[in-house]
Structure 1
Amino acid sequence: MAHEIHLKNNKYRQWVKAGLGLGYLKEGLAPFCDDIGRQQHNDIINKIQQTKTPQPNVPCGTCQITTLQPDHVRVSKGICPLNQDKCNCCFPNNKRPCPNNVCGAIYDSIIQYHASIPPVPFWKNSDVQQWSTEPWEVCKCFINAPGYKDKTSAVDTDCTGLLHVIINNNYFHSHIGCNVAGPNNLFSKVRQYRNEIFHSSNMELEESKANCYIDDMIAVLQDGKDLLHRQDAQQAVRKLQDLKKKDFIITTVDFDEILGQINEEMKKVLYSVDDAATKEEYDDLKKKFIEFKTKMSEEKEGEKLENEKELSELKKTIMELESQMVQEKKEKLEMEIEHADLKKKFTVLETLVSEQKEVKQLNDVCHTCICIFALKKIKIIC
């Protein structure tokens, strides 16, 4: 069972709660993103199989993004008909068509589904060789930020990445009630919260601000189109609502969760362009990671001292019981030895009496000895 942690600084407590909220938001969004991503992938593959001549040979594991020739052809030099900047169609000299007749079509579909104008898929996050078989490799092209190449599923992806997929992918928009493409939409607002939380100057938040963050996370998961009717999303909503309760308990497991999130943020910064601003950002995150880990260690040390005190008292009690058992065992052994000795003596006397019972005087002497022996030892054990 995870130990409860008492945080005296309320602003720090609110910061921890906001960080936990991001984790719960991810829990609510991941199954939804996984399901819709698979639906999109199935639709793309089915469409390719129905429209391509010759029929594509799925799967394909040979293409590279730098050398893949799209299915579409440039309008003129440097002009892409799909309005993508620096599209592969604009540099055809070293490009080759997919030998399985599928990857070029998927490339086109990703551009067509991208919601930004002009479309800007982030190809570096994805492995082209898995496009034909792994839906999440296609979804990652809609995460317009580095650091997600090693994420193999929605569950592996943080809430920022999941929100990127929802916001930048038109296929997802048909499953969202609010206008995701509109300015200052709720999903885009919540996407910024991770930066505001983990890149703040200190690890503190006003309670009103933390609750505002959590309320918007709840609103995302209660979007009226699909999410409101998903059990996993509404379970996450209940967890977010519990965060706002005054008696909410923060545990060492929660500390580990926040540490993991900060560590993930540090990894993403390392994937970014290596400039002064990025280095400063990374150093700041590393400092927060160390400070937070220290706080957690201090909390755990406090629990450790309390537990050690209880353990010491328990050991003392056990030692007393063991000592008492040893003493009782010793006394029992002594009694058994004394019993055996008395029984032996009694048997000898009984034999003498039996042999000389004709001689009344001797019998009287033996009887007297037995009585004296009995009085001396208190009792004879037969």
Structure 2
Amino acid sequence: MAHQLQLEKERYRQWVKAGLGLGYLKEGIEPFCDDVTKQQHKDELNNIQQSKNLPTVTCGQCAVRTLKPDHLKIGNKQCPLGQANCNCCYTSGKIACPNNVCGAIYDNIITNHASTPPAPYWKNTQTQQWTGDSWSIAKCFINAPGYDQKTSAADIDCTGLLHVIINNKYFHNHIQCNLAGSNVFSKVTQYRNEIFHSSTMELEKTDASNYIDDMIAVLKDGKELIDRKDAQDAVKKLEELKNDDFIITTENMEKVLGDIREEIWNIRKSTEGLATKDDCDDLKIKYLHWNFSCLNKRR
């Protein structure tokens, strides 16, 4: 009964709707991200093969911490590609790729990174998989921990997929929206933080509606997403969320809370020993709320 009473609270219902919206948004952009990532990987390997006149483009022996890039530093520890703490600036102990491949991929990741200065998140990647797995490269564009063991687009949450779109210049060719500065893609990543980090698990109706409208705007981007069936099927689901008569079920609630539980687990695992007191307090609040909701369900 207590569980049902919670569902009857309007602001809680709106919070659940917004959380469901993130799931629908992931459904809509996941196939797009997978297709573009695979095409980028194919193009990149083909370019390396042609430019270096290699019979095959394969490796599995390099590690990102010890990899010697193809580019050379300039001056006193200055990276010509603009990356801070680049491997090119610390040549001691760095090893060139024995297959003449991984150094070029390292360079391409940096030059494709859209931030200034470029800041690939190397902790998310497995260098040994670069030539055989497109997502091992794509994960370098997710500037948050917890994705190192993810192996496909299906494993990556909505925020991770949005990071790949925003931070990877190759994706910019497939998006009409100007991804520099303030844009709807970046706004939605912030919404996700506000939804999942809410200690009250409540949201005003106008805020939830605005969040969902921007999720729809992402899926209606005029370059390619507007013409993809997966994206437009997700739009229909998002539009249904905005109806006043949309029924919130306990299954809906469990889906959103389950996503939060997974995030808590990923953050705790990836930042163990590194999280600040505020980070830990925030995780404790969310964890208590999640457990309280589950206990209510069992009553």
TM-score bracket for this pair, using the shorter chain length: over 0.9
Give CA deviations for 1:33-61 in whole Å, capped at 9, x if unaligned: 000001110111000000015x1643211
Supply the distance in 1 between the matched residues of 2:12 and 2:296 (Cα, whole angstroms).
Answer: 11
2:199/2:286 contact within 8 Å kept? no
Gaps of 5+ in 1: 299-382
Q: 2:265 maps to what in 1?
A: 267
1:148/1:157 contact within 8 Å kept? yes
Q: 1:149 maps to what in 2?
A: 148
* One-letter amino acid of the counterpart of residue 92, structure 1: T
Matched, 1:48 2:43: no
The one of 189, 192, 197 equivalent to 2:190 is 192
Q: How does 1:261-340 map to 2 (within 5 A)?
A: 261-270=259-268, 271-272=270-271, 273-298=274-299
Supply the distance in 2 between the matched residues of 1:283 and 1:136 (Cα, whole angstroms).
Answer: 32
Q: 1:211 maps to what in 2?
A: 209
Deviation at 1:292, TM superposition (A): 2.8
Deviation at 1:296, TM superposition (A): 3.6
Supply the distance in 2 between the matched residues of 1:297 and 1:18 (Cα, whole angstroms).
Answer: 24
Give the share of equivalent positions with the same residue, in percent. 57
* One-letter amino acid of the counterpart of residue 241, structure 2: L
Supply the distance in 1 between the matched residues of 2:231 and 2:298 (Cα, whole angstroms).
Answer: 33
Supply the distance in 2 between the matched residues of 1:205 and 1:158 (Cα, whole angstroms).
Answer: 21
* One-letter amino acid of the counterpart of residue 278, structure 1: D
- Name the SS for the 1:155 alignment partner: helix
Q: How does 1:189-268 map to 2 (within 5 A)?
A: 189-268=187-266
Deviation at 1:205, TM superposition (A): 0.9
Segment of structure 1 superposing worse, 109-118 or 265-274: 265-274
Supply the distance in 2 between the matched residues of 1:71 and 1:125 (Cα, whole angstroms).
Answer: 21
1:131/1:138 contact within 8 Å kept? yes
Q: 2:91 maps to what in 1?
A: 92
Q: TM-score, normalised by structure 1?
A: 0.74
**Number of residue pairs aligned between Structure 1 and Structure 2:** 292
Q: TM-score, normalised by structure 2?
A: 0.94
Deviation at 1:268, TM superposition (A): 3.6
Deviation at 1:251, TM superposition (A): 2.7
- Name the SS for the 1:18 alignment partner: helix
Computing the radius of gyration from Cα coordinates, the structure with the larger value is 1
Q: 1:179 maps to what in 2?
A: 178
Q: Over aligned residues, Cα RMSD in angstroms?
A: 1.4
- Name the SS for the 2:200 alignment partner: coil
Q: 1:138 maps to what in 2?
A: 137
Gaps of 5+ in 2: none
Deviation at 1:133, TM superposition (A): 0.8
Q: How does 1:59-98 map to 2 (within 5 A)?
A: 59-98=58-97
